[in-house]
Structure 1
């Protein structure tokens, strides 16, 4: 009973905050005000607090722009976590647009939706990502292309870094900065989370959304460690595959070290 009361109270508080911020965000999006980047960060911070995500940040966010963050992806909670740390926009699969609740939130955050199956739209989508980077927005890329079980980094897709080359051509010094980021779910109720318990936090795509969401709300306290790695400059002479492999290696090491408690 206490657990359900806590869930109801948390969701009610988050709903109230959403109703207050929603009209302001809609107006900000319509007029393309800078405020549209800051409101989602405030909302994500409240959401993390309400559902019990305790976020610990290691390292610092790169200050130079244009900036792309390349992060491992274990759950929809990754979006809340990174969104609570910085004013970011996400590259998302086109089907996310139509998801209940999360699709609306993605649109309100001005996410960049990509249709990976339609190659004829690839150039247009890459140009949009490049434009947003050139405008100074921090764009988050999950280069695995899907969610993992939280215990490992899947092989990343080098093609998803094509937008960095497009943005580099429009940047003042022809350089885009790519910063590897590791997101590790390391504890539950203050106790270390082992590999067999990490699926509590992770959300592989074959698990139903609502049962998983309710399971997270019932747990009520998850520890998340976010590591910002050393950035990699992507310039005119950079090789996309070489850069993507360097990003993959850095994410894999940070994630592995954090999961092993180092």
Structure 2
């Protein structure tokens, strides 16, 4: 009974917060005001608090601009977590725009939707990402291209770093700062998270959404560690495959250390 009361409270409270912030965000989007970047952060922080997602940060977010964060991807909760830490904008596959709940929320945050299979749109999409980077926005890329089980990093696609290369000629110093980020879900109910509870943290895609959401709502407390790695300065002529390899190596090292409760420094 208590569990269902909590679920009801979370759903109602989140709906109230969303409706309260919605008019301000719509105006900010219509007028392209900078506050449109800050309002989603407030929403993400509130959502994490209501869901019981406790965020622990290792390292520091890169202060120089432009910066692209390259993170591993286990679940939609990654967006809440990163969105609660900084004013960020996300790159997502075009299908997300039509998803219930997640689609409208992504649009309100001015997410950049990319159709990865449509090569005709590739140039325009890369240009859009480059423009957002040039404007000083923190752009988040999930270079795996899909979600994992949260225990490992899948192969990352170097082609997705094309936006960083496109932005280089248009930014001061002709440098884009690419910072690897590892997101590790480590504890649930205050206990170390084993494989049994992994479906609560991760959403690989073969799990039905509603049961997954119910599991998250029932969990009450989920601890996640976000590790910011060493920033890589990407310049004109630099090799995207080398960039991808460096990013992958850092994320794997940080992710493994967090999951094992070790220091990666």
Normalised by the length of structure 2, the TM-score is: 0.98
Q: Distance in 1 between matches of 2:207 and 2:188?
A: 20
- Note if 1:66 corresponds to 2:45: no
Three-state SS of the structure 1 residue aligned to 2:183 is strand
Q: Distance in 1 between matches of 2:153 and 2:76?
A: 16
Aligned counterpart, 1:215: 215
How do 1:200-211 residues align onto structure 2 when only pairs under 5 Å count?
A: 200-211=200-211
Does structure 1 retain, via aligned residues, the 8 Å contact 2:158–2:241?
Answer: yes
Aligned counterpart, 1:38: 38
How do 1:1-262 residues align onto structure 2 when only pairs under 5 Å count?
A: 1-262=1-262
Does structure 1 retain, via aligned residues, the 8 Å contact 2:25–2:39?
Answer: yes
The runs of at least 4 consecutive aligned structure 1 residues that moved more than 3 Å come to none
User: What's the CA shift for 1:219?
Assistant: 1.1
Does structure 1 retain, via aligned residues, the 8 Å contact 2:227–2:254?
Answer: yes
Q: Distance in 2 between matches of 1:111 and 1:249?
A: 27
Three-state SS of the structure 2 residue aligned to 1:11 is helix
Q: Deviations over 1:39-70 (max 9, x none)?
A: 00000000001111011111110000000000
Q: Distance in 2 between matches of 1:254 and 1:29?
A: 36
Does structure 1 retain, via aligned residues, the 8 Å contact 2:96–2:103?
Answer: yes
Does structure 1 retain, via aligned residues, the 8 Å contact 2:188–2:197?
Answer: no
Q: Deviations over 1:205-229 (max 9, x none)?
A: 1111121111110111100000001
Q: Considering only aligned residues, what root-mean-square deviation do their CA atoms show, in Å?
A: 0.7
Three-state SS of the structure 1 residue aligned to 2:63 is coil
Q: Deviations over 1:137-156 (max 9, x none)?
A: 00000000000001100000
User: What's the CA shift for 1:196?
Assistant: 4.0
**More deviation, 26-35/212-221:** 212-221
Q: Deviations over 1:84-143 (max 9, x none)?
A: 000000000001001111100000000000001110110000000000000000000000
Task: Name structure 2 gaps, 5 residues minimum.
Answer: none
Q: Distance in 1 between matches of 2:40 and 2:200?
A: 25
Q: Distance in 2 between matches of 1:242 and 1:200?
A: 34
Three-state SS of the structure 2 residue aligned to 1:224 is strand
User: What's the CA shift for 1:200?
Assistant: 2.0
Q: Distance in 1 between matches of 2:125 and 2:55?
A: 32
Q: Distance in 2 between matches of 1:196 and 1:210?
A: 18
Normalised by the length of structure 1, the TM-score is: 0.99
Does structure 1 retain, via aligned residues, the 8 Å contact 2:89–2:138?
Answer: yes
Q: Distance in 2 between matches of 1:227 and 1:65?
A: 19
